Amino acid sequence: MTNEAFHKKSSRRAFMLNSGILAGGAMAAPLLSKANYFSGADGTIKVALVGCGGRGTGAAMQALLSKQNVKLVAMADAFRDRLDECYKTLTADDISDYSSTVKNVKANVDVPEERKFVGFDGYLKAIPLADVIILTTPPGFRPIHFEEAIKQDKHVFMEKPVATDPAGVQRVLAAAAIAKQKKLNVVVGLQRHYQNSYRELYKRKNLIGDIISAQAWWNNDGVWVRPRQAGQTEMEYQMRNWYYFNWLCGDHINEQHIHNIDAVNWFKGGYPVKAQGQGGRQVRKGKDNGEIFDHHFVEFTYADGSILNSQCRHIPGTMSRVDELLVGTKGKIHCGAGSISDAKGKSLYQFDSKLENNPYQTEHDELFAAIAKGEYKFADAENGARSTMTSILGRMATYSGQIVEWDKAINSGIDIHPKVYAWDAPPPILPNADGFYPVAVPGVTKYV
Ligand SMILES: NC(=O)c1ccc[n+]([C@@H]2O[C@H](COP(=O)([O-])OP(=O)(O)OC[C@H]3O[C@@H](n4cnc5c(N)ncnc54)[C@H](O)[C@@H]3O)[C@@H](O)[C@H]2O)c1
């Protein structure tokens, strides 16, 4: 669907968002046939984990802590050491959840050697063994993994972002439509949709009238670097140090700032029609920093003319802020503060921080409760794909320095992935003789 057609449907969408269909809240919950939701003769919901890194370990733990009868039965990772580290953590006597509470989930980890799969095709072997698939690899692989999980009739928890290029977004949108037809629950890890403060603010958004502008920030020091090791092929190096390569990560505007951009899309009830912006790399420009920028500032324009000013920066020693502010005709919502005020600054609502939850746990509690009851409640993939497209649109704008229109970008067919996934295959971007990668130059670079 073009964005124009999408916006024509916006009043229906606003209703859908209000009713939580795309936003992860409760919706009418048709009961599924038992065969369609879990296969365990004893009512066990079987889970396969694809991508056993930091978030995969956390997500698997949260699935196992979800109060349903859940078992982890298969694990897949590109690398043996990552899989082993994750297995060791999940089978330890005590592990901490996000609230630092010590828990033990090892009784529900049932992954013998024959259900541990390593390499690029591990997902194909793990997916058939489970009812629910957790997809937590770098986002570049999400489209092919999600497509396969839906093809095999599985419910899905998948992390954001859900792609790194427009072709990937289209694949996720197509699979999302099939997931809806098949009534497969899909939760995307845009956890603000599952966070009490955001949910309470969202319920009260009409207090500020129509949203006419917004600001979103993901400014902090940045993330890890995994330096090149002797003996690595170029493919292995990029897979290990994935944050710095667009085919895997999509740049930090996609990988992290998507949370804030998505929150604004959610409250707006739509997606931008165009973007323009600026960015570059000031500080993070070593050989191990691949091709991504360290700062972006994007002006997104929505169909009604309202603007989102979005900024993200990964530069140590600068102001840190991860937050969103929505400005309406009658007042403001400050998401980070959990507050709503009128146009003169008078408080209209303050969320009680004592009521805040751990949204990472809530995502799994709600998903697995629905599956256990045979309910179809979650269809997050379409919004996940469109918010991913929004952050990719921002990247296209900062890399090119041009105005980039949504419809052209999403339909551009741009695909930045390798032709072949193999350890000795060439990745789509290669270093020069000095070990540096090509970096976008605004004014010169076309849509990438
Ligand atoms: N919602 C959140 O707040 C949040 C927080 C952290 C991470 N994440 C997301 O989770 C995802 C993973 O991030 P992470 O921090 O866990 O990274 P990570 O590097 O710790 O883990 C990624 C894992 O995927 C594996 N992998 C890579 N390609 C694979 C493939 N083709 N098949 C199987 N395994 C493969 C890697 O070897 C690694 O073990 C990212 O999309 C990230 O944005 C979300």
Q: Is the pLDDT of residue 12 over 50?
A: no
Query: What is the predicted pLDDT for the residue at 56?
Result: 97
Our CA angle for 17, 23, 25, nearest 5°, is 100
Distance 134 CA to ligand 1 centre (A): 11
Least confident piece of the model among 41-45, 217-221, 264-268: 41-45
329 touches 208 (CB < 8 A): yes
Q: How far is CA 306 from the centre of its chain?
A: 24
Question: Does ligand 1 have an atom closer than 6 angstroms to the CB of 77?
Answer: yes
Average pLDDT for 74-91:
97
Q: Average pLDDT of 78-86?
A: 98
Range in 17-26, 52-61, 108-117, 174-183 the model is least confident about? 17-26
Q: What is the number of the ligand 1 atom nearest to the C-alpha of 141?
A: 31
How close is the Cα of 418 to the center of ligand 1, in Å? Answer: 18
What separation in angstroms does the CA of 432 have from each of 239, 260, 380, 429? 18, 35, 40, 10
Please report which confidence band the pLDDT of residue 101 belongs to, taking 50, 70 and 90 as the band edges: low
Determine if ligand 1 sits within 6 Å of the CB of residue 48: no
- Verify whether ligand 1 is closer than 6 Å to residue 375 (CB atom): no
Residue pair 116/78 in contact by the 8 Å Cβ criterion: no
Q: What is the pLDDT of residues 262-300, one digit of tens each?
A: 999 999 999 999 999 999 999 999 999 999 999 999 999
Q: Does any ligand 1 atom lie closer than 6 A to the CB of residue 384?
A: no
Could you tell which of 50, 62, 77, 255 is best to mutate to test the pocket of ligand 1, judged by most ligand atoms within 8 Å of the CB? 77
Instruction: Reduce the secondary structure of 115-180 to three states and give it as a string.
Output: HEEECCCHHHHHHHHCCEEEECCCHHHHHHHHHHHHHCCCEEEECCCCCCCHHHHHHHHHHHHHHH
250 ligand 1 Cβ < 6 A? no
How much distance in Å is there from the Cα of 55 to the middle of ligand 1? 6
263, amino acid identity:
A
Does position 34 have pLDDT exceeding 60, yes or no? Answer: no
Angle, nearest 10°, between helix axes 142-151 and 166-182? 20
Residue 279: name the closest of 323, 313, 308 by CA.
313
DSSP H/E element including 391: helix 381-400
Residue bearing the CA closest to ligand 1, atom 33 = 77
Kindly give, in sequence order, each residue whose CB lies less than 8 Å from that of residue 121, ignoring residues fewer than 6 positions away.
none
Counting from 1 in the atom list of ligand 1, the atom nearest the Cα of 57 is 16
276 pocket-lining for ligand 1 (C-beta < 6 Å): no
Q: What is residue 381's predicted lDDT score, i.e. its pLDDT?
A: 98
Distance CA 300, CA 395 (A): 11
* Cα 379 versus chain centre, distance: 14
Q: Are 290 and 432 in contact (CB under 8 A)?
A: no
277 Cβ below 6 A of ligand 1:
no
pLDDT of 95: 80
What is the 348 CA–ligand 1 centroid distance (Å)? Answer: 39
Ligand 1 pocket member 141 (CB < 6 A): yes
* CA dist 362 → 263, 358, 367 (Å): 17, 6, 8
**What's the token pair of residue 238?**
């990029």
Query: How far is the centre of ligand 1, averaged over its atoms, from the C-alpha of 142 (Å)?
Result: 10
